[in-house]
Amino acid sequence: MKVRIFDTTLRDGEQTVGVSLSPDQKLSIAKKLDQLGVDAIEAGFPVISEGESKAVKMITSEGLSCEIAGLTRTIKGDIDAAVDAGLNYIHTFIATSDIHLQYKLQMTREQALEKAIEAVEYGKSRGLQVEFSAEDATRTDRDFLKQVFGDVAKAGADRIDIPDTVGYSTPEYIAEITKDAITATQLPVSVHCHNDFGLAVANALSGIHVGAACAHVTINGIGERAGNASLEELSMALQCLPQDQKYETNIKSELIYDTSRYISKIVGIKVQPNKAIVGDNAFGHESGIHTHGVLNNPLTYEPISPELVGRTRQLRIGKHAGIHGMNAMLEEFGVQTTDDQSKQILEKIKVLGDQGQQITDVELLSIASDVLGEKGIKKIVQLSAFSVSTGIGIMPYAFVKLNIDGEDFIGTDYGVGPVDAALNAIQKITGKVSELKITDYRLASISGGATALCEVTITVEDPQGNSVSAKSVGEDIVTTSVKAVIDGINRIMLKNMLKEKQLN
């Protein structure tokens, strides 16, 4: 069975507190979603502002391969605004629960039903495809909900949507009302689930398992309050989890991680590390028992291959680490150790871990160098010079000169601050040389007073999704940040260079 994926990142996702997108940003996200393979994009709510209408027009004019929908209330002016924005598909809604009718709309059930029918009929008269939503469906009287769905179907609706507006449903109940909607309308039914109780994906799956044809989702599960059903979790659950009936979507799963990171950066909401599928730790292993198992057979502790969603496996080092995982990490950098040396390195790591310290790849290599008696592991990238300028009324600017494997490179760039400018300049160089990206930057203060020390932790990633972390401590934030980035770049370039030698 093919399940339709209706992405509402640009509408419900933008209703996340603190998120506001420009028309250009919306268009760039729409293109990314289209490449990902979504069947429909809810581009926005055209009537709410000129900018929103402009964004929808830009998206409808782009010639994307997926369907483009716009949200409307059951008001003729909203529907007209959707048509003016170039839409031929609307998602129109009115609340049907008694609490919404009494306290929000001040309407009777009969009045709300009349508005719903009028909107569907008007939308059809304007030549639109109409998907009708009964807002707060899961708290609506069940018999009344069936009546509403049946009557809007008779009025000409093309699709029906069941919104669990405040995430109040259970999988068992969403299954029951999904079957009601299918029986009452004989139309394709969508489920639109919110995550207030952490059940959004489970509820969406439950609706699909009993016959819903479509799920409304957002990238990274963003949305109002606790968010919406997550596209990445739902699509991979449909594809991979065992069930009686197999489900397919048009989602190109290998693009999921890249899409997640792209949209996370634009909307300014970092993905939590333990987020399923796309979180930093989703395919990360530190425990010695786990890493030993994964090294022998990844299926021991990974339900799916990370490459399936555009990711790579990450072995991490810390106090829970074991010899096998640590040695595997060292071997990625070309470091060979005896059994005794491995034990010494691991003991030092556990001591740091017991002190509550996070141990990065760079620190692992530094500890290994101390134990092995080496003066240092090869540095491919050397920082030759850098300077930053900033002040009131001018945009921060940075100059960076790097020597990469004997060749000098110069990069300059601006930023929102001196650190941002310096990192942008470095990334200009490394992006040109080896397409490396700085994917994470964290700053912490580790002492107080006028000479406070700061700790910078960064992650550098290559186009294949391989990443390396590095940490630096110092008094000056800009210098400390630059040193951390250079350390990270050195480690990932060394790792990739050794891989290329092994392949050749």
Q: Which of these ranges, 20-29, 286-295, 468-477, has the smallest mean pLDDT?
A: 286-295
- State the CATH architecture for 4-267: Alpha-Beta Barrel (3.20)
Q: Residue 447: its pLDDT value, please?
A: 62
Q: Tell me: the pLDDT tens digits for 375-389?
A: 456 678 889 999 999
pLDDT at 374 over 60: no
Q: What's the whole-number mean pLDDT along residues 252-275?
A: 94
Quick one: 309 exposed, middle or buried, by C-beta within 10 A (0-12, 13-18, 19+)? buried
**Which amino acid, 371?**
V
Please identify which residue in the block is written with the tokens 């994906």.
Answer: 201
Q: Residue 361: its pLDDT value, please?
A: 74
pLDDT at 71 over 60: yes
Q: Tell me: the pLDDT tens digits for 297-341?
A: 777 778 888 889 998 777 677 777 778 888 888 887 778 888 898
Write out the H or E segment, with its range, that includes residue 433.
Answer: helix 418-434
- DSSP collapsed to 3 states, 342-407: HHHHHHHHHHHHHCCCCCCHHHHHHHHHHHHCCCCCCCCEEEEEEEEEEECCEEEEEEEEEEECCE
Q: Which of these ranges, 13-27, 192-206, 232-246, has the smallest mean pLDDT?
A: 232-246
Nearest CA to 190 out of 167, 170, 163 is that of 163
Q: Tell me: the pLDDT tens digits for 150-181?
A: 999 999 999 999 999 999 999 999 999 999 99
pLDDT at 362 over 90: no
- State the CATH architecture for 381-503: 2-Layer Sandwich (3.30)
CA distance 72 to 491: 52
Q: Residue 354: its pLDDT value, please?
A: 82
Q: Tell me: the pLDDT tens digits for 432-454?
A: 767 778 888 888 876 666 667 88
Q: What's the whole-number mean pLDDT along residues 461-490?
A: 84
**Which amino acid, 123?**
G
Query: Using an 8 Å Cβ cutoff, are 260 and 278 in contact?
Result: yes
Q: Tell me: the pLDDT tens digits for 398-425?
A: 999 999 888 999 999 999 899 889 988 9
- State the CATH architecture for 284-372: Orthogonal Bundle (1.10)
Q: Residue 457: its pLDDT value, please?
A: 87
Q: Residue 451: its pLDDT value, please?
A: 61
Residues 6+ apart with CB under 8 A from 489: 381, 426, 430, 436, 460
Q: Residue 33: its pLDDT value, please?
A: 98
Residue ranges of the chain that CATH labels 3.30.160.270 = 381-503
Label residue 295 by pLDDT band (50, 70, 90): low
CA distance 204 to 212: 9
Nearest CA to 137 out of 127, 147, 129, 151 is that of 147
Nearest CA to 480 out of 422, 436, 431 is that of 422
Residue ranges of the chain that CATH labels 1.10.238 = 284-372
Q: Residue 290: its pLDDT value, please?
A: 66
pLDDT at 287 over 70: no
Residue ranges of the chain that CATH labels 3.20.20.70 = 4-267
